[in-house]
Homo-oligomer: A and B are copies of this chain.
Amino acid sequence: MIAEIVSVGTELLLGQIVDTNSAFLAQTLSALGVDIYYRTTVGDNPDRMRATLREALFRSDIVITVGGLGPTMDDLTKEISAEVLGIELVIDQEIEQRLRAFAHKRGVALPPSFLKQALVPVEHGSPLPNPNGTAPGMIAERNGKMVVCLPGPPNELIPMVEQSVVPAITEKLGAGRTVIKSRVLRIIGIGESLAEDAVKDLILGTNPTVAPYAKLGECHLRITAQASDDQAALKLIEPVEKEIKRRLGKAVYGIDNETLEQVIVERLTQLSQTVTTAESCTGGLLAERLTAVPGASVVFNTGIVAYANDVKEKLLNVPHEIIEAYGAVSEQTARAMAGGAKANDQSDYSVATTGVAGPTGGTPEKPVGLVYIAVASPSGVRVEKYNFLGRRADIQRRAAHAALALLREAIISDSQSG
């Protein structure tokens, strides 16, 4: 069963709004085992909408339109969908009454154009109730082709999909349907191509499939299985997941939506240990990521953003001589920042960043992107040097990510040796 999403609206084409509905619909449909091959966005233009819907109905079994159900002249999705499917629409008395009551409550007469919202199929389909708006949706099926028309606002679309569309498509799928389940393995410390090389044979598999994705500072491997039900799909995923974990070891840091900071906060909570941050070039980003995790207060008490050199001395006890001899952006300063922060906070771990985030401030010896990260742990201090590419925000984000990765490694290696 192949479905296709057609988003309608000039404001989408102009980029004035970001289309989050399509992602929601795509997730919902994949979870039902429906394949999606195309997603198209078209403006409020009748001819192009007609051409797009014809093409979509030709190549797919289910076409889901989003937007263009309102009362304005531009809103023509329902009418053109009916035309392309070859079904007739009439005004529904009950919906008309509801629209009139709605206008009455607001103390206005119903504008004539509003009445088109009451149009419903004479046969081959029905309106879809909209608890959060005036425009009902529509579902219609003819010659085995299904069209579903949904409103654009997410707070109207989402309940309509959950209450009406999912049951209808599930029924259309019938007994012989399949589900698709995915699991994402989040990998840090090795690049996308190395990760891919390590699991090349698994990538050639068809059920489950394994696909690599490069992300900022890490990479993801997505395992996707198709089966008759959720449990059978999970049974296909599990041995592949196990094998990837065996090959990549601790480089696999999380599953699905788990973040590095979640993994760290969880692990430190289990160990009853704490961490403190001492940031220069990341400017608070490290503290912010750790405190974004609910319950972070159990493992995190203090974060210092020591942007100026004298603050590094005053609040982190970095010796004046070290900054003078090696500079604020140096292995020695990073080491002293981490040591001072850990001692002051009496924490088990500390993580410190110092670097040149740019765009100015770089020199031939210390170019923009040079960052030192130090992690102090019960077993000592480790400092790493990085050269990050990109703009200021990229360098700050990459540095914070690398710092969390280094902190995680220290926690793992300490708890293994301890």
Count identical subunits in the complex: 2
A50 CA to B220 CA, complexed, in Å: 27
Smallest Cβ distance from A73 to chain B, in angstroms?
7
- The answer to whether A290 touches B283 (Cβ under 8 A) is yes
Q: Is A214 an interface residue (CB 8 A)?
A: yes
Query: A153: which of B38, B216, B360 is its contact (CB, 8 Å)?
Result: B216
Contacts of A38 in B (CB 8 A): 13, 40-42, 48, 52
> What are the residues of chain B within 8 A of A160 when measuring CB–CB?
none
Give the distance in Å from the alpha carbon of A313 to the alpha carbon of B26 in the complex. 49
Shortest Cβ distance from residue A42 to the other chain B in the assembled complex, whole angstroms: 6
* A1-36 vs B, Cβ < 8 Å mask (1 yes, 0 no): 000000000111111111110111111101000001
Does A287 lie within 8 Å of B302, measured CB to CB?
A: no
Does A93 count as interface, using CB distance less than 8 angstroms? no
Quick check: is A255 within 8 A (CB to CB) of the other chain?
no
Q: Which residue of B lies closest to A19 (CB)?
A: B19
**Is A243 among interface residues, defined by CB-CB distance under 8 A?**
no
Do A291 and B304 form a contact, CB below 8 Å, given A72-B193, A113-B193, A286-B284? no
- When C-beta atoms are compared, the residue in chain B nearest to A17 turns out to be B23
Does any Cβ of B come within 8 Å of A330's Cβ?
no
Chain A 303-330, CB-CB to B under 8 Å as 1, else 0, gives 1111110110001000000000000000
Q: Which residue of B lies closest to A214 (CB)?
A: B70
Residues of B within 8 A of A297 (CB): 307-308
A43 within 8 A of partner (CB): yes
The answer to the question of A98 belonging to the interface, with a C-beta cut-off of 8 Å to chain B, is no
In the complex, chain B residues whose CB is within 8 Å of the CB of A114 = 193
Determine the chain B residues whose CB is within 8 A of the CB of A279 once the complex forms. 284, 287
**A196 at interface by CB-CB < 8 Å:** yes
Specify the chain B residue showing the minimal Cβ separation from A132. Answer: B390
Q: Give Cα A191 to B44, complex, Å.
A: 21
Report if A383 contacts B (CB, 8 A): no
Q: Which residues of B contact A389 (CB under 8 A)?
A: 131-133
- Tell which of B17, B287, B360, B396 touches A283, judged by Cβ atoms closer than 8 Å: B287
Q: Which of A41, A159, A284, A308 has the most CB of B within 10 A?
A: A284
Inter-subunit contact A300/B304 (CB<8 Å): no
**Hey, which chain B residues are within 8 Å of A26, CB to CB?**
12-15
B131, A191: Cβ atoms closer than 8 Å:
no
Judged by a CB distance under 8 angstroms, whether A364 is at the interface is no
B315, A296: Cβ atoms closer than 8 Å: no
Cβ–Cβ contact B11 & A15, under 8 A: no
Task: State whether the Cβ of A391 lies closer than 8 Å to any Cβ in chain B.
Answer: yes
Contact A284 B303 (CB under 8 A): yes
Q: A37-B48, A283-B288, A284-B284 are known contacts; what are 10 more A-B pairs with Cβ within 8 Å?
A: A16-B211, A39-B41, A72-B192, A279-B284, A284-B291, A285-B288, A294-B358, A301-B310, A302-B311, A304-B304
6 shortest interchain CB distances as A-B pairs: A283-B291, A15-B26, A284-B287, A303-B305, A284-B284, A284-B288
